[in-house]
Amino acid sequence: MKILVVNAGSSSLKYQLFDMDTESVIVKGGAERIGIPGSVLKHKTKDGEKIIEQDMPNHKVAMQLVLKALVDPEYGVIRSMSEIDAVGHRVLHSGGDFDRSVLLNDEVLNICKKNAELGPLHMPANILGMEACREVMPDTPMALVFDTAFHATMPPHAYLYAIDYDDYKQYKIRRYGFHGTSHKYVSQEAIKYLGVPAEQTKIITCHLGGGSSIAAVRGGKCIDTSMGFTPLAGVPMGTRSGDIDPAVLEYLAEKKGYSLVECITYLNKKCGVAGISGVSSDFRDLTKAADEGNERAQLALDVFAYGVKKYIGAYAAAMNGLDCLVFTAGIGENTWEVRKMICDGLDYLGISLDPEQNGRKNDGSIHDISGKNSKVKVLVIPTNEELVIARETKELVEG
Ligand code: ADP
């Protein structure tokens, strides 16, 4: 069975074609700068990368170009589109209407459109991706895999904000959480690695990348997570502030003459470690600058690591214990300095690192970095959101 996984962003459309018999990637790539001059499709097969520069005014044209590349006689990987058995779409927000992946039909598409206002940065692009695919491959079954779904098991005391309950009911204002496919994948991999029944496990998963979120996973189910109504909440991120006193918005609006929308854009794009350091949102730049003595870069790293550390403490309390701490995504998998900063001083929780293992370069496999006497297993697990999407799509299509 061949499954195409599609991840549509506002100006991009990433894809991976999986052979599900071996769960291997046949080809992957992405269209960039959709609707912007200079659009380009990068198509990576095992033989190398093909760069196709062509105007892509919208997602439909991008999707057509992706399919053309897949069947191209020279660098394509399939003979015809009918070889694609199903498509899995990554979708940001379920709006609480779906607690698991679903097959796409008109009704589901309408619910997604209704929920688009809950994720204004991502949902319109996700919907364009679905529509473009349906238009170009009308007879191929498609599944939607939501970033929020893994967090649907959170109990009300974790997902409710302390606001007027009627407003929660009417406007669906609550914590949803994001990066669900990643938290699900790495927590399941950790459970396999630990070799104990899922019900007995208490795991904290730290997805630390461009956006970062932490999840508390007890008995294989998410019971709390750091992102909230939107992916702006939680720990500080590359350019996002993370948790902040909401009264800052009014103050900021007054001082800088911002509208409310401008305040939110500021918190999304101008803050985080980039805002504190004035150097970069990229942790490779930050660690280098800090090493060279840049104090604000060091401060940004300190604020980030402290933010993650506090969530670890909170979630150990929420689960009444901790068996395993998992690091994943760009920073979690690669930036050993940050893992060290986060874990330093957590020995009262039974967490310690093996400095040599922690310093080892990530080779794509599960990597145990726990110290010899660490009661908590500390693991680096490379995430694979696309594989989860492909697996769930396969499951749904096979009924
Ligand atoms: P996104 O949320 O954009 O998918 P990623 O999970 O790719 O983000 O993480 C990007 C972050 O990971 C950047 O801050 C980057 O500096 C950091 N990082 C550190 N080392 C590496 C590395 N070797 N490769 C990729 N990203 C790295």
Q: What is the pLDDT of residues 233-288, one digit of tens each?
A: 999 999 999 999 999 999 999 999 999 999 999 999 999 999 999 999 999 999 99
Per-residue model confidence (pLDDT) at position 368 = 98
Q: Is 215 strand, coil or helix?
A: strand
Beta strands in the chain (DSSP E): 2-8, 13-19, 24-32, 40-45, 48-53, 86-91, 102-103, 142-146, 202-208, 212-218, 221-225, 324-328, 367-368, 377-380
335 in ligand 1 pocket by Cβ < 6 Å? Answer: yes
Residue of the CA atom closest to atom 3 of ligand 1: 210
232 residue type, one letter: L
How far apart are the C-alpha atoms of 182 and 9, rounded to whole Å? 17
pLDDT band at 345 (very low <50, low <70, confident <90, very high): very high
Q: Is 332 in the pocket of ligand 1 (CB under 6 A)?
A: no
Evaluate: CB of 382 within 6 angstroms of ligand 1.
no
| pLDDT computed for residue 16 by the predictor | 96
Residues 106-124 as b or e (16 or more Cβ within 10 Å = b): eebbeebeebbebbeebbb
From 19, 47, 106, 147, active-site residue: 147
Distance, CA 332 to ligand 1 centroid (Å)?
A: 8
Atom 1 of ligand 1, residue of closest alpha carbon: 210
Q: Is the pLDDT of residue 388 over 90?
A: yes
pLDDT score at 346: 97
**pLDDT confidence of residue 121:** 76
Give me the pLDDT at residue 61, please: 92
- Residues 185 and 385: beta-carbon distance below 8 Å: yes
pTM of the model as a whole: 0.93
Residue identified by tokens 């939110």 is 264
| Cross-sheet strand order for the sheet of 102-103 | 48-53, 40-45, 24-32, 13-19, 2-8, 86-91, 142-146, 102-103
Q: Is the separation of the CB atoms in 269 and 210 below 8 Å?
A: no
Alpha-carbon distance of 363 to 356, in angstroms, equals 15
CA nearest neighbour of 169 among 161, 180, 157: 161
Pocket test for ligand 1, best of 282, 381, 384 (most atoms within 8 A of CB): 282
- pLDDT value, residue 122: 85
Report pLDDT digits (tens) over 181-208: 999 999 999 999 999 999 999 999 999 9
DSSP letter (8 states) at residue 147 = T
The mean pLDDT of 303-325, rounded to a whole number, is 98
SS3 136: helix
**Residue 246 CA from chain centroid, whole number:** 24
Report the nearest atom of ligand 1 relative to the CA of 383.
Answer: 6
Q: pLDDT band for position 342 (50/70/90)? A: very high
Res 2 pLDDT > 80: yes
313 CA to middle of ligand 1, Å?
24
Distance from residue 369's CA to the centre of ligand 1 (Å): 19
CB count within 10 Å of CB 160 equals: 14
CA of 385 to the centre of ligand 1 (A): 15
pLDDT of residue 323: 98
pLDDT at 10: 75
Q: Whose alpha carbon is nearest atom 27 of ligand 1?
A: 330
- What is the rounded distance in angstroms from the CA atom of residue 54 to the CA atom of residue 31? 10
Q: Which two tokens stand for residue 16?
A: 């991976």
Q: Which amino acid is at 199?
A: E
Does any ligand 1 atom lie closer than 6 A to the CB of residue 327? no
Structure confidence at residue 47 (pLDDT): 85
Residue 59 or 276, more confident? 276
**Model confidence pLDDT, tens digit, residues 66-88:** 999 999 999 999 998 899 999 99
For residue 333, how far is its CA from the centre of ligand 1 (angstroms)?
Answer: 8
Dist. CA 338 → ligand 1 center (Å): 12
More confident call, 132 vs 320: 320
**What spacing in Å lies between the alpha carbon of 82 and ligand 1's midpoint?**
35
Mean pLDDT along residues 380-391: 95
Ligand 1 lined by 329 (C-beta under 6 Å):
yes
Q: pLDDT grade, residue 60 (50/70/90)?
A: confident
Does position 337 have pLDDT exceeding 80, yes or no? yes
Q: Is 330 in the pocket of ligand 1 (CB under 6 A)?
A: yes
Q: What is the pLDDT at residue 328?
A: 97
Tell me the average pLDDT of the chain: 95
- Give yes or no: 147 in active site: yes
Please choose from 205, 208, 283 the residue to mutate so as to test ligand 1's pocket, defined by most ligand atoms within 8 A of CB: 283
- 66/42 Cα distance (integer angstroms): 9
> DSSP secondary structure string, 348-382?
GGT--B-HHHHHSPP-SS-EE-B-TT-SSEEEE--
Q: Report how far apart, in Å, the C-alpha atoms of 285 and of each of 212, 291, 294 are.
A: 17, 10, 11
Q: Is the CB of 334 under 6 A from ligand 1?
A: yes
Ligand 1 in contact with 238 (CB < 6 A)?
A: yes
- Residue 335 has a pLDDT of 97
Check: CB of residue 39 under 8 Å from CB of residue 56.
yes
Report residue 9's pLDDT band, with 50, 70 and 90 as the boundaries: confident
Distance, in Å, from the CA atom of 294 to the CA atom of 296, rounded to the nearest integer, reads 6
